[in-house]
Amino acid sequence: MKIRILGTAAGGGTPQWNCACAQCTRARREGTARTQDCLAVSANGTDWYLVNASPDIRVQILAAPELTPGPGQRDTPVRGVLLTDAELDHTLGLVALREGADLDVYGSAPMFSALDEGFPVQRILAPYGSTRWHETADGVPFTLAGGLRVTAIALSAKRPRYAAERPAHDDWVVAYRFADPLPGAALLYAPCLAQWTSAFDAALEGVSHLLVDGSFFHQDEMARTAGWSASASDMGHLPISESLEAVAGHPGLRCLYTHLNNTNPVLDTRTAEYRAVRAAGADVAADGQLLEL
């Protein structure tokens, strides 16, 4: 199984277009920009699936050699998209993918309800006739092209702001467990994780690689950097300072943090927070990074 990490930043990327904070200023100066989180996964190196479709999707696809079109004029190895939630930074790229061949999109029922009403991308794409929508169910595995085995794992009822009035369901946000058709290593992708529950811990059984929510390092990070009263948990994200302890309970697990907010000090490898991540045996994911399991 191959995994190309296309983007690793939280919504807005780093630097954000309208931000002059210390981190964004440093990223501009040092050329350390990050695009918004997105993943490409394949079990056979031929059939590729995107996990989320960020607003940066065109740039991300062009930067990934595995996703180069051909040999036919309009052939593409991109077979579909799996959504971890219905947030705009994970779904806006679906509109850009309308120009491709048939595309299979996977997500939970609550996500699809939001994408039919609050942000009606299903209706927007319908006239183009190239998108099929497949509902996932918590804990029920399914198989994609190339034999890629996938299981969606419900994480939380955090709804997008545009869908705040819709009913609460535990699968508004999901993680995905990916495994090869043959027994072996598996990867769990959870870019938005509100709590490290016993169910999430159980989902790590047999998993060799974890790509997990690194939005914030500190619980009060937004207060420290922007004067906001909301904590990381209030915003639906478990801070790295708290998840590192849970990671330590899984020796041998390779953990990479992704979905990094522009406020997160781990973006700078010279900080104590970055050193704490490395000292714990974890790391920070990089745009363009390739994993082979």
Cα–Cα distance, 20 to 265 (Å, whole number):
15
Domain ranges within the chain, ordered by starting residue: 2-286
The structure tokens listed for 205 are: 């059984």
> How much is the average pLDDT of 85-99?
95
147-194: per-residue pLDDT in tens?
A: 999 999 999 999 999 999 999 999 999 999 999 877 778 999 999 999
> How much is the average pLDDT of 119-137?
94
215-237: per-residue pLDDT in tens?
A: 999 999 998 888 888 999 999 99
Structure confidence at residue 196 (pLDDT) = 97
Structure confidence at residue 56 (pLDDT) = 98
Please name the CATH architecture into which domain 2-286 falls.
Answer: 4-Layer Sandwich (3.60)
Q: What percent of the chain has pLDDT over 90?
A: 90
Angle, vertex CA 157, rays to CA 156 and CA 162, nearest 5 = 130
Structure confidence at residue 182 (pLDDT) = 76
Structure confidence at residue 16 (pLDDT) = 96
Structure confidence at residue 100 (pLDDT) = 67
The structure tokens listed for 98 are: 């309308």
Does 101 score more than 80 pLDDT? no
Structure confidence at residue 282 (pLDDT) = 98
Does the reported pTM lie above 0.85?
A: yes
The structure tokens listed for 224 are: 């420290």
Q: In terms of C-beta distances under 8 Å and separation of at least 24 residues, what long-range contacts does 17-23 make, across chains too?
A: 19/262, 21/225, 21/226, 21/262, 21/263, 23/262, 23/263, 23/264, 23/265, 23/267, 23/268
> How much is the average pLDDT of 50-76?
95
Averaged pLDDT of the chain: 95
